[in-house]
Copies of this chain bind each other. A is one copy, B any other.
Amino acid sequence: MSTKPRSTYHHGDLRQSLIDGAIALISTAGVSDLSLRQVARHIGVSHNAPYRHFEDKEALLAAVAEEGFKALTLTMETARQDTPPGTKAALTAIGSAYVRFALAHPAHYRVMFSEFRSNFHDYPSLAAAGQKAFMVLVSTIAAGQTAGIFKAADPWELARVAWSLVHGQALLILDHRIPVASEAKLEEFLQFSCQLLISGMASV
């Protein structure tokens, strides 16, 4: 049921299938247990087929991560659109959306921040996708500064602080190191921490 039958010798869209298969397997077994051969088997293709589309295992993970960053960017942008620009609510919305993305897509998120043996800068399109996601944060903060809501400081530096907070939250919750008893408790925690940070960032 996991693989649609393939009558032709060629697969059609093996590259994307590999990415999807990797996500599916990581979701059930964790990223460190993922094997390329497993993914190939899952899709119904020989153990070496993946090498026609990815240089090695890490390159597949880089593609997964890139997809994740693009989805994260979209998620944050959408969340921001529902709030008036240049407000505290806008920053709260994307901060909350960030953590919720990680919790909703743990496999993607873990790969996005897994340790790439070669620096992740060796995958230019991945680095670009990551940068684009980060820019959503920076621009939101900069807009708040223009509106006079946040203190005057390097918006990049402020964004790094905010990113640290939500990234730490996301990982600690995913690792069950910060307990989350219920959806209501989660919402409460996210609001609490965003307000804490934002009041620290406030002007005056």
Using CB atoms and an 8 Å cutoff, list the residues of chain A in contact with chain B: 30-33, 110, 113-115, 117, 119-121, 130, 153, 157-158, 160-161, 163-169, 171-172, 175-178, 189, 192-193, 195-201
Question: B196, A201: Cβ atoms under 8 Å?
Answer: yes
The answer to whether A168 and B175 touch (CB under 8 A), given A157-B189, A196-B200, A196-B201, is no
A33: B residues at CB distance < 8 A: 117
Majority SS at the chain A contact face:
helix
- Each complex incorporates copies of this chain amounting to 2
Task: State how many angstroms separate the Cβ of A146 from the closest Cβ of chain B.
Answer: 19
Known: A32-B32, A130-B177. 16 other contacts (CB 8 A): A115-B175, A119-B176, A121-B176, A153-B192, A158-B196, A160-B193, A161-B193, A161-B196, A164-B168, A167-B172, A195-B200, A196-B200, A196-B201, A197-B197, A197-B200, A200-B200
